[in-house]
Structure 1
Amino acid sequence: MMLISGASAGLLSLGAIYIPSSFQNLAVPVQGALIVGHGLSGAILSGLLGKLLSDKLADTGVLSAYPVVDDVGLEA
């Protein structure tokens, strides 16, 4: 779920800067690379790194007061 939301955020950010940055004037393969690049970077930076960070925080016990730990099955 976090990968999908990260990729969506990356694509939405591209949509926000597409017209002001004149990306529509670029060649079609370059536009495709922009779309793929923004989707992948959003998925990796927001989704994957966020998931890894939250898992590491849960392992330390810092998140034991939050219900997200109960969903994962971790106990402090």
Structure 2
Amino acid sequence: MSTWEVALVREQGVEFGVVAVQDHVISNPSERDNLVRMWVAELGRPVVLLGGRRHQTYGRHDIVNWLSSVDPARLPWRQVTIN
């Protein structure tokens, strides 16, 4: 089992998830794509990855654009444990 920081957001009628990851994940195409697919299947909604320190993002462009104008501390973070 692993525990992740996840924010479930509804903005302008779009429901999506934001998953906090280590910064190196964003720069690793294979790892980031696998994580996005895993979380989309887990949450049943689009997912964006957010790097922990540099706050780089990866995912659907409309969500990434919205997220660029939001302070990550204001997102409704929760811990999610998955197998």
Normalized against structure 1, the TM-score is what? 0.29
> Hey, which of these two has a bigger chunk of helix by percent?
1
> Hey, which of these two has a bigger chunk of strand by percent?
2
Considering only CA atoms, is the larger Rg found in Structure 1 or Structure 2?
1
